[in-house]
């Protein structure tokens, strides 16, 4: 896991993600984000880092990630790394974890069951 954390830390905070655009043709598109977190344990279950990811639902491109614990603080860090256009305009879909409440604006958040 230490190796993965080193790789993630070497990447820029902003993944240079740009929403899909097109010229000359009218394109109707709604920005949508899927966010989720996964726990992994290394050697002992007590050593349990969480990998947080957000991706564009249409392109499946990872637009932000964070390695941390399973707290609202980590959810805020993931949200802060999501590109501004997505934070401003996208509908975000997450699981029903309470850590997302108050982090993603309610009008842009849909908690769905798995």
**Mind listing the pLDDT tens digit for each residue in 2-41?**
776 677 677 766 666 666 655 555 545 678 888 888 876 6
Please tell me the predicted confidence (pLDDT) of residue 13: 64
Please tell me the predicted confidence (pLDDT) of residue 27: 46
Please tell me the predicted confidence (pLDDT) of residue 87: 92
Please tell me the predicted confidence (pLDDT) of residue 38: 82
* pTM for this predicted structure: 0.73
DSSP H helices in the chain: 2-10, 72-81, 84-89
Tokens representing residue 27 in the block: 């394109």
């Amino acid at each position: 896991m230490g190796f993965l954390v080193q790789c993630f830390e070497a990447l820029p905070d902003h993944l240079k993600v740009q929403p899909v655009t097109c010229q000359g043709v009218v394109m109707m598109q709604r920005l949508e984000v899927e966010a989720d977190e996964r726990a992994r344990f290394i050697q002992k279950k007590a050593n349990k880092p969480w990998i947080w990811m957000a991706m564009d639902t249409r392109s499946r491109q990872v637009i932000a990630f964070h390695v941390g614990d399973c707290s609202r603080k980590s959810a805020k860090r993931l949200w802060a790394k999501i590109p501004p256009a997505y934070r401003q305009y996208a509908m975000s879909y997450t699981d029903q974890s309470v850590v997302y409440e108050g982090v993603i604006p309610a009008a842009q958040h849909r908690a769905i069951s798995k």
